[in-house]
Amino acid sequence: MRRPLFRLTQKRVLPLWQRESRTTLAPGALRQLHSCSALVYRKHGHHYDTVRMEEMSLPALGQHSVRLRMLAAPVNPADINMLQGTYPILPVFPAVGGNEGVGEVVEVGRKVTSLRPGDWAIPWDAGFGTWRTEAVCEADDLLQVSKDIPLLGAATIGVNPCTAYRMLQDFVTLKPGATVMQNGSNSAVGQAVIQIAAVLGVKTINIIRDRPNRQELEEELKSMGADFVITEEELQCLGLDNVIQELPKPILGLNCVGGRSGGLVLSSLCDGATLVTYGGMAKKPLQIPAKSLIFKNITLQGFWMTQWKRNNSKDVTQLQTMVTSVCDLVKSGQLQPPHCVQVPFHHYSQALQATIQAHQRKHVLLM
């Protein structure tokens, strides 16, 4: 698998169509055969109106490359942060927005064996620029996804469900009957954690924020396999021991909120547990008492799917195995795709605006 050109810590990355290709062009290939519509931005800004739909010509197909017709691409909070210039990966301008999405392979170069026309594929790395109708890229930039799953499931499989999958695998050994606690349980990752944990026979304690439709949400999460659903306020007030005696104390905590909520998860964990932070929705730092680290021997780690993929970018089998496993869970009905709102491609600003605001559902552009 090709070594990504990206550098972290706000180094900018060349957009796909400006990167050097190792592909030898076929004779006559310099002629631009195809063009696409893309959501392009040329500067960072705090508003969705930095993005404009533009027509863009595509490079010719090389021997190792693939032409992909994008079918659906979500608008994720990370995409918005990238527009704003606050994400650790920034593109070189002009840039196409969008890091996630699924496309159908239309055409492949002569030496491509991993994909065939008609296959569905997703980019494995961030920075692909998925908000576009078509792309030409190296076959190595893509992973195949099953066509037996819903389109919106395929479009949203590469980041959140994979994050849940890895966090349940890579930090502690979870035997059936072990307990995991998480906050932000209604997030896309949170819902995937509930479902994948249930498949593993692992119990989940799921913290949510109090809300008018609390009962309804609790039932929904339980229908996915959540063992306990509890509000931050209840946990803060009563303490875990007074609410849930049925389960062993959590050996793994998953934190996407931070601040007080992260501290609540931390203080509920068993001795020797691990707290994995993968988000900071509350925009407040985690407060860690020294004694939790010293006397309870809690380990704190972070998880970032993008970094994991880049660390494993030389092992395409590892990446493909993960995506295929998650696809299989969706196919078998054990993992439901997230709730999505479908937005026509040319109504993109509506999707961007909705993603900036508090939201329960993913907004997915349909090309």
Q: Applying CB under 8 A, which residues contact a copy of itself?
A: 8-9, 88, 255, 258, 262, 271, 277-280, 285-304, 307
To a copy of itself, the closest distance from the beta carbon of 301 in angstroms equals 5
Complete DSSP assignment for 292-343: HHHTS--EEEE--HHHHHHHTTT-HHHHHHHHHHHHHHHHTTSSPPPPEEEE
Q: Which is nearer to a copy of itself, 162 or 327 (CB)?
A: 162
Q: Are 73 and 130 a contacting pair, CB within 8 Å?
A: yes
Q: Which is nearer to a copy of itself, 31 or 291 (CB)?
A: 291
If you search the block for the tokens 């819903």, which residue do you land on?
150
To a copy of itself, the closest distance from the beta carbon of 11 in angstroms equals 13
Q: Are 72 and 365 a contacting pair, CB within 8 Å?
A: yes
Q: Which is nearer to a copy of itself, 174 or 266 (CB)?
A: 266
Q: Which is nearer to a copy of itself, 76 or 277 (CB)?
A: 277
To a copy of itself, the closest distance from the beta carbon of 278 in angstroms equals 6
Closest C-alpha to 76, from 11, 150, 127: 127
Helix (H) or strand (E) holding 219: helix 214-224
* Ramachandran category for residue 188: left, alpha or beta (phi over 0 → left; psi -120 to 50 → alpha): alpha
Q: Which is nearer to a copy of itself, 198 or 304 (CB)?
A: 304
Q: How far apart are CA 108 and CA 139, in angstroms?
A: 8
Q: Are 158 and 124 a contacting pair, CB within 8 Å?
A: yes
Q: Are 155 and 74 a contacting pair, CB within 8 Å?
A: yes
To a copy of itself, the closest distance from the beta carbon of 303 in angstroms equals 7
Q: Which is nearer to a copy of itself, 4 or 88 (CB)?
A: 88
To a copy of itself, the closest distance from the beta carbon of 282 in angstroms equals 9
Q: How far apart are CA 191 and CA 187, in angstroms?
A: 6
Q: Are 366 and 71 a contacting pair, CB within 8 Å?
A: yes
| Alpha carbon distances (Å) from 229 to 107, 160, 177, 225, 247 | 47, 20, 17, 11, 13
Which sequence positions are flagged as catalytic? Answer: 87
To a copy of itself, the closest distance from the beta carbon of 44 in angstroms equals 18
